[in-house]
Amino acid sequence: MAHDDGWQEAEVDFGGSKLRYRVKGDGPPLLLLPHDNGYPPDDTFLDTLAADWRVYAPWLPGFHNSNPEDWTWLRDTRDLSLVLSAVMRDLGLHDLTVVGLGYGGWVAAEMACANPLLFRQMVLLAPMGIRPDHATIYDQFLVGSEHYARRCFHDIDAFERVYTPEPPFEQLEAWETDREALIRLAWKPYLYDPSLERLLAGAHVPTVVLHGDDDRVVPRECSERYVAALQDARLIDLPNCGHAAEVEDPAGVARIVNEVRPKVAV
C-alpha cells in the first residue's frame, strides 16, 4: 500500500503471525529498528535517511501497529530478533546497514550475533541489552508512558514540537501497546540479556555507537561496553541530545549514518 509521502506499507507472514513494515527510497538497503516506544508522529529522521537509502522500517513484532495479538508467543528479545532476521532473509535482503535506536539497538545486536552476514554495518544509538555495572537503565515501568517519553529528550520543547504539549489519547494508547510488548519481553532481566555481551564477540560487523550526552535513560557505560565487546566499533557522543537523539537532531544522526554509506549501492 503506497502513501502520499512516498512510504509503502507491507505485511509479511511468519508462521501465521503478521509483521508490518514500511519502505521508502532507492539507495542501498537500510534497516531501521525503532525505540521501545515506537516511531514519533513526525517522520523527519526516516525521510532524511530515505533520501540516500532504501529504508525498511518495521513495527517491532508485538508492538503498536504490528498485530500485537499475533506475537504474544515471543518470550524474549532474542526471539524477536530471530523473527526479524528470518523476515529479512525472506525478503531477500542482505548486506544491510542497520540503524538500531535504544531498544532497537539491542535487537540489531542480537541479529548481528546470530546472523553477522545479514549486515554490512551497524549504527547503534544508546543500545540497551547490556547491564551497566555503575548505573542502571532508567526504569520506565515505574512511571507513566508519557513521563518516560519526555525523559527521552534533552530539550523538552523538542518533545512538545513532535508530540504536542499534551499528546492525544491515541498516542498514549500506542505507547501503552508498546509497553505491553516490552514488558512481556524484557521485564526481567530489565532490558538486558546476561549473555549478550559475550556473544558480541561473534558479531563481526563494523559498528558506530552513538550516545546523546544528556541521555537520561541508557547510561553511557552501556555504549562503552558495546564498543569494547565488538571487534570493530567506535563511539561518537552527540551533543545536546537525550535518548531520542534521532528526533532531537535528525540531520546530525542521519549525517553520521550517511558517512558509513557504501560507495556503491548493493
Partner 1 sequence: MEILYFTEQPMSAYPEEAATDEIPIGGGKTQRVTALLFSNKHFSSEEGSRLYKERMEEYKLADEMGFDGIMLNEHHTAPFCMSPRINLFAAMLAATTQNSKIVLLGNPLPVNDNPVHLAEELSIIDMMSGGRLVSGFVRGGGVENIQANTNPAFNRERFEEAHDLVMAAWTREGPFRWEGKHFDYRVVNPWATPLQRPHPPIWIPGVASKETVMWAAKKGYPYIGLNTNFDVSDKIKQLYSESAAEAGITAGPQHFGQLLQCHVSDDEEKAERNAQEFMWMRGEFTGLAHPVWGSPTGYGSPSNRKSLIEISNGRRPMIAPPSKDQRKLDKTFVWGKPKQVIDQLKTVIENNRPGVLALWGNDGRINHEDSKLCIRLLGEEVLPEIREFAKSLDIKSPSDTGAGYNLHLESPIPEYRKVEV
Shortest Å distance, C-beta 113 to partner 1:
24
- Is residue 156 part of the contact set for partner 1 (CB under 8 A)? no
Among 237, 105, 97, 214, smallest CA distance to 159 is for 214
Residue 192 is which amino acid? Y
Shortest Å distance, C-beta 171 to partner 1:
10
- Is residue 134 part of the contact set for partner 1 (CB under 8 A)? no
* Inter-CA distances, 6 with 1, 27, 47, 58, Å: 10, 14, 9, 16
- Is residue 145 part of the contact set for partner 1 (CB under 8 A)? yes
- Tell me how crowded residue 151 is: count the other CB atoms within 10 A of its CB: 18
Distance CA 209, CA 211 (A): 7
Pick the piece of the chain touching partner 1 (CB under 8 A) from 34-42, 118-126, 182-190, 247-255. 182-190
Q: List the one residue from 51, 135, 143, 251 that touches partner 1 (CB under 8 A).
A: 143
Shortest Å distance, C-beta 144 to partner 1:
4
- Run of H or E residues at 184: helix 169-186
Pick the piece of the chain touching partner 1 (CB under 8 A) from 13-21, 91-99, 117-125, 138-146. 138-146
- Is residue 146 part of the contact set for partner 1 (CB under 8 A)? yes
166 neighbors 144 (Cβ within 8 angstroms) = no
Pick the piece of the chain touching partner 1 (CB under 8 A) from 16-24, 43-51, 166-174, 201-209. 166-174
- Is residue 184 part of the contact set for partner 1 (CB under 8 A)? yes
Distance CA 105, CA 165 (A): 28
Among 141, 149, 126, smallest CA distance to 179 is for 141
Name the site residues for partner 1 (rule: CB under 8 A): 141-147, 169, 172-173, 176, 179-180, 183-184, 187-188
